[in-house]
Amino acid sequence: MMATKADSSALRDLSTRDCFDAHGKPGSRFITKYENYFSVYDRYLEPLRSRPITMIEIGVQHGGSLQMWKRYLHPDSIVVGIDIYAACKKYEEDGIRVFIGDQSDHDFLASVISDIGPVDYILDDGSHIPHHQKASFDYLFHHGLKDGGVYLCEDCHTSYWPRYGGGVRRSGTFIEFAKDIADDVNYWHLENKPGAPSWRTQMVESVEFYSSIVAFRKKAMLSPRQVDIGDVKALDLEAPFREGALGKFIVFAKRIPLLQGAVRRTPFLWNVMKKIMHRR
């Protein structure tokens, strides 16, 4: 049954937390979330509610969250669940599809995208195993997410849990993987670039970290162009250094990248510069 415009408007007034709370009736399917997740969901999903979208949620479990997303999104949206357990197929209903397979299997993920087409929003709430999270991201963000889409990976606290192979700054975790992507986003500003930009540099607009969630926005990216405006530079930044031998040496040294780096990395040299500037 198609929802009326009045129904759609009323639903759009609900937050994800409202939809979560409304789900809690006797006999409803189980959902578990951390409370801080809801404001993150709203931030990325609210702009998408005015039109039908397709979203993927990795990790179906008891099927409750699929129904929550269906309630929250535009009534003509499609919610797609992915899970490795065949029994989850029974949670299909109008507006909800479920695919059974391994979230780390690129061939399986390719078959899903071939069936449903690129999607607007992806939420990884699957195994929480870093290897699986990374494999899903590498395929789905690259090949399954529309330009302008959003990819969320939640329950990233497992990156810090030893039983998941995690630990603080432990190589191989999803959190460290996401930090590497933050470096990819800033590739354009590297003074010594390690070869050509990666697909992540060319496709990831931003990486945003929250408590146990990492969010990635997709957008075709080019090298940023610096723009200037105004023709008056009233502050002469070299004026304090023009008097005295030491000041003149600093003006000369500032133009040498190696010496610039030494000053910025050495507290003693930086303090000498500050004293000279404060005297003028």
Active site members: 128
Instruction: Return the exposure string of 122-143: e unless at least 16 CB atoms fall within 10 Å of the residue's CB, then b.
Output: bbbbbbbbbebbbbbbbbbbee
d(CA 147, CA 62): 31
d(CA 127, CA 85): 11
Within the chain, strands assigned E span 54-58, 78-83, 96-100, 119-124, 145-154, 204-210, 213-218
Give the residue ranges of DSSP H helices in 13-146: 16-22, 37-45, 64-72, 106-116, 130-139
Which positions ≥6 away from 41 have C-beta within 8 Å? Answer: 16, 152
Q: What's the Rg (C-alpha) of the chain?
A: 25
SS3 state at 76:
coil
- The number of residues making up the chain comes to 280
